[in-house]
Amino acid sequence: MEDEERLADLVKGGLAGEGFAVDVAHDGRDGLWMATENTYDVIVLDVMLPRMNGYALCSRLREAGDWTPIMMLTAKDGIYDEAEALDNGADDYLAKPFSYVVLLARLRALVRRGGRERPVSITVGDLVVDPAALKCRRGEVVVALTPKEFAVLHALARRAGEVVSKSELLAQAWDFSYDGDPNIVEVYISALRRKIDVPFGRTTLMTVRGAGYRLEAE
Amino acid sequence: MEDEERLADLVKGGLAGEGFAVDVAHDGRDGLWMATENTYDVIVLDVMLPRMNGYALCSRLREAGDWTPIMMLTAKDGIYDEAEALDNGADDYLAKPFSYVVLLARLRALVRRGGRERPVSITVGDLVVDPAALKCRRGEVVVALTPKEFAVLHALARRAGEVVSKSELLAQAWDFSYDGDPNIVEVYISALRRKIDVPFGRTTLMTVRGAGYRLEAE
DNA sequence: AATGATCTTCAGGTTGGCTTTAGGTGACCT
DNA sequence: AGGTCACCTAAAGCCAACCTGAAGATCATT
Mean pLDDT within B110-114:
48
Mean pLDDT within A168-173:
86
- Paired residues of B92 in beta bridges: B71
Q: Is the pLDDT of residue A186 over 70?
A: yes
Q: How far apart are CA B112 and CA A46, in angstroms?
A: 28
Place A40 in a pLDDT band, splitting at 50, 70 and 90: confident
Q: How far apart are CA B72 and CA B82, in angstroms?
A: 9
Identify the pLDDT of residue A102. 67
Which tens digit of pLDDT belongs to each residue from B127-165? 999 988 888 999 999 998 999 999 999 999 999 999 999
- Its sign, for the CA torsion B83, B104, B12, B95, is positive
More confident site: B166 or B98: B166
Instruction: State the amino acid at position A135 in one-letter form.
Output: K
Identify the pLDDT of residue B36. 78
Mean pLDDT within B64-88:
66
- The contacts of residue A74 (CB under 8 Å, 6+ apart) are A47, A54, A81, A82, A85, A93, A94, A95, A96
DSSP 8-state assignment for residue B149: H
Which of helix, strand or coil describes residue A5?
helix
Which tens digit of pLDDT belongs to each residue from B8-24? 766 776 666 666 667 77
Mean pLDDT within B184-200:
94
Mean pLDDT within A74-86:
56
Q: How far apart are CA A110 and CA B203, in angstroms?
A: 60
Which tens digit of pLDDT belongs to each residue from B182-191? 899 999 999 9
Closest residue in A to B83 (Cα–Cα): A102
Mean pLDDT within B120-130:
90
Identify the pLDDT of residue B163. 93
Identify the pLDDT of residue B65. 67
CB half-sphere exposure, B80, CA atoms < 13 A: 1
Closest CA to B217 of B196, B186, B199: B196
Q: Name the residue with the least CA to C1' distance from nucleotide C7.
A: A148
Q: Is the pLDDT of residue A74 over 80?
A: no
> In terms of DSSP bridges, do strands B70-74 and B43-46 run parallel, antiparallel, or are they unpaired?
parallel
More confident site: B94 or A214: A214
Say how many C-beta atoms besides its own lie within 10 A of residue B192's C-beta. Answer: 23
Closest CA to B35 of B82, B68, B75: B68
Identify the pLDDT of residue A140. 87
Instruction: Return the beta strands (E) in chain A as ranges.
Output: 43-46, 70-74, 92-95, 122-124, 127-130, 135-138, 141-143, 163-164, 205-208, 212-215
Average pLDDT value for chain A: 78
Residues 166-195 of B with CB under 7 A from strand D: 166, 183, 186-187, 189-190, 193-194
Q: Is the pLDDT of residue A77 over 60?
A: no
Q: How far apart are CA A130 and CA A156, in angstroms?
A: 13
Cis peptide bond prior to A97, omega within 30° of 0: yes
Q: Is the pLDDT of residue B44 over 70?
A: yes
Q: Is the pLDDT of residue B112 over 50?
A: no
Give the protein-side footprint of strand C (Cβ within 7 Å): A 144, 146-149, 174, 178, 180-181, 183-184, 187-188, 209-210; B 146-149, 174, 178, 180-181, 183-184, 187-188, 209
Predicted TM-score (pTM) of the model is: 0.63
Identify the pLDDT of residue A176. 65
Q: Is the pLDDT of residue A183 over 90?
A: yes
Annotate B70-83 with DSSP letters as a single string. EEEEES---HHHHH
CB-defined contacts A:B, below 8 A? 92
Give the largest CA-CA distance in chain A: 63
> In terms of DSSP bridges, do strands B122-124 and B127-130 run parallel, antiparallel, or are they unpaired?
antiparallel
Q: Is residue A46 within 8 Å of A85, Cβ to Cβ?
A: no
